Structure 1
Amino acid sequence: MSASKGCILMLHGFKQSDTIFYKKTSGLRKHLTKQLGYELIYPCGQMKIEGHLAGDYTGVEDQPDSVDMFSWLLRDNITGISKISDERSVKPLIKYIEDNIENKGKKLVGIIGFSQGACFTSVLIQYYSHLDIFQHLKFGIMFSGFHLDDASILKDTEDAIETVERTTPIKSLHVMGTLDTVVEDFKTYNLHDNFKDKYGEDNTELYKHIGGHYVPNNKGFLLKIATWIESADKEKDLSVKVADNKKFDQNNNELPDIDEDLLKSIDNLGF
């Protein structure tokens, strides 16, 4: 068996779990592992949801009451406002990545999130991707995602959380179902536009599928996703190769291409 291209973190939606999301993404998982050679890692949210508190809000998945359900976000059941907890959401996931990926000599190259997990993916990319565990991260895919503003990020201190900057941008793909009635389309558009404003149009894309609130498993759309991933994964390597072809003098000034100079000399001869 060939070596893995790297690990992709799979973040489930609200009222789901690692086990549920594993089953719901069977088509995508098989394509990315068997066809492309990635290893998919499924963590579970740390906040267990009691059945009578589950409610009905963004990211909800219909599950039987007997199934354990979890969340990435803290929700105020009175105001209905959801927030990311630095202590209960982010730190446990970072520990999970360290234990299951970094300490095993693996590389985290991508994050794929669905609904609430997509929202969490966007937070990790925007505010935590400067951490060492994300140094190899190249892309994030957000299915049925929605945007949380900076005020929705809880920190241990009163210091405002700031968007981090990286020398190598992380590509993002935002996927929405045209029949999705759980996450309204304007919420996914807002998330996409937020990323486009921060990271540029070249690093941000939007795909639509004819379906509802789920990760599509039809082969045609999976091929489209796979093609995008391959492009996002290779782009960093291509930029390095281009840079390697350039030559510099002792003062770090780029030297001209010899072939280009020869052509200019021939032109100057008047032939």
Structure 2
Amino acid sequence: MSATTPNGAPASQPKKTPQIPKGKTELKILMLHGYTQSGPLFSSKTKALSKLLTKALSPAPYNLHPTLIFPTAPHRLRPSDIPGYTPSDGAEGAEAEEDDESDNWAWFRKDEATGTYLGFEAGMRAVATAIADAGGVDGVCGFSQGGAVAALVASALEKPHREPAPSPSPETDTSWLPLLRAANNDAPLKFCVVYSGFYAPPPTLGWLYAPPIATPTLHFLGSLDTVVEESRSQGLVDRCVDPTVVVHPGGHYVPVAKDWVLVLAGWLRKRYDEPAGTAKKEEGNL
């Protein structure tokens, strides 16, 4: 039986020393799953991406070996939290039983009445733990809710450090911020990749978007996405400096076909093979 944290989330596994091929530089990427997913499920769904990315980045002159890290969010979801859930007769007791068995997780829950993100702080502390367990990461990649969180993580790690605006509510908890920065050895991320992500509108998070996110960002949007409205994804794009946006002809998922992974690989290679300030000129040709 696998170990779990007190709230039932899969615990971080003991740190293993990755086998990095001789002559290669490890490229550590934090992979943040979407709402109702888990780290292992996200890993399973992106195996093709991982293999193709390794193949594309390992040759000279890049000599990079991607290590993808898949933590699980801390909040276990009830059946009623899952979109499309329809209760049946006598479901109340069954739902209580399923609470302890479901493998559906979230980085936060949205309070529909107030628009606030419940449990956001715990989600960010879980991210900090995953980064610390990895000994720091080079970049972050997230899908859907994980994409929204990925952008916020990149913003919080930027230098010069941005700081939270004074909050009128003494309940606002930003204790995750120093933990996150210490976890990544006080280093900013080199890149942030967002699949079907979105802008987080709670006022308490506004400081993470102003000034705009300067970390290089790549946004994949599905032209047939009916889960995240285009305006929500565009809201995140608009709050990034010089974002690269790619639209694929699909829905709400991470495209793992070779052509789309090569777009990602090409964009990542530009982070490592061109002098600072020159990569932006060519990204539109991907």
If the length of structure 2 is used for normalisation, what is the TM-score?
0.66
Counterpart position of 2:79:
51
CA contact (8 A) 2:191 2:216 kept: yes
Counterpart position of 2:43:
22
Per-residue CA distance 1:45-89 (angstroms, 9 max, x = gap): 0111111332459xxxxxxx765110011322x527352645311
Q: Which 5+ residue runs of structure 2 have no aligned equivalent? A: 1-20, 58-64, 86-97, 162-180, 278-286
1:35 paired to 2:56? yes
CA contact (8 A) 1:73 1:82 kept: no
Counterpart position of 2:108:
73
Which secondary structure does the structure 2 equivalent of 1:183 belong to? coil
CA contact (8 A) 2:117 2:202 kept: no
One-letter amino acid matched to 1:96:
A
Counterpart position of 1:140:
192
Q: Return the alpha-carbon distance in structure 2 between the equivalents of residues 82 and 23 of structure 1.
A: 31
CA contact (8 A) 1:126 1:164 kept: no
Q: Return the alpha-carbon distance in structure 1 between the equivalents of residues 25 and 245 of structure 2.
A: 27
One-letter amino acid matched to 2:226:
T
One-letter amino acid matched to 2:247:
K
Counterpart position of 1:213:
252
Give the CA deviation at 1:11: 0.3
Q: Which 5+ residue runs of structure 1 have no aligned equivalent? A: 58-64, 103-107, 154-159, 241-271
1:29 and 1:95, CA in 2 relative to 1: closer, same or farther beyond 3 A? same
Give the CA deviation at 1:186: 1.8
One-letter amino acid matched to 1:27:
A
Q: Return the alpha-carbon distance in structure 2 between the equivalents of residues 5 and 118 of structure 1.
A: 23
One-letter amino acid matched to 2:139:
G
Counterpart position of 2:27:
6
State the aligned residue count. 213
Give the CA deviation at 1:29: 1.2
Which deviates more from structure 2 when the two are superposed, residues 2-11 or residues 14-23? 2-11
Could you tell me the percent identity over the aligned residues?
30
Counterpart position of 2:142:
113
Q: Return the alpha-carbon distance in structure 1 between the equivalents of residues 141 and 29 of structure 2.
A: 7
CA contact (8 A) 2:157 2:188 kept: no
Q: Return the alpha-carbon distance in structure 1 between the equivalents of residues 139 and 230 of structure 2.
A: 24
1:96 and 1:33, CA in 2 relative to 1: closer, same or farther beyond 3 A? same
More helix by share: 1
Which secondary structure does the structure 2 equivalent of 1:213 belong to? coil
CA contact (8 A) 1:72 1:116 kept: yes
Q: Return the alpha-carbon distance in structure 1 between the equivalents of residues 41 and 80 of structure 2.
A: 20
1:178 paired to 2:223? yes
If the length of structure 1 is used for normalisation, what is the TM-score?
0.70
Counterpart position of 2:266:
227
1:13 and 1:112, CA in 2 relative to 1: closer, same or farther beyond 3 A? same
Which secondary structure does the structure 2 equivalent of 1:212 belong to? coil
CA contact (8 A) 1:83 1:152 kept: no
Give the CA deviation at 1:152: 4.8
One-letter amino acid matched to 1:209:
H
Of 232, 236, 254, the residue aligned with 1:191 is 236
Output aligned runs, 1:148-187, within 5 Å: 148-149=200-201, 151-153=203-205, 161=207, 169-187=214-232
CA contact (8 A) 2:141 2:150 kept: yes
Q: Return the alpha-carbon distance in structure 2 between the equivalents of residues 34 and 121 of structure 1.
A: 24
Give the RMSD, CA atoms, in angstroms.
2.9
Q: Return the alpha-carbon distance in structure 1 between the equivalents of residues 261 and 114 of structure 2.
A: 34
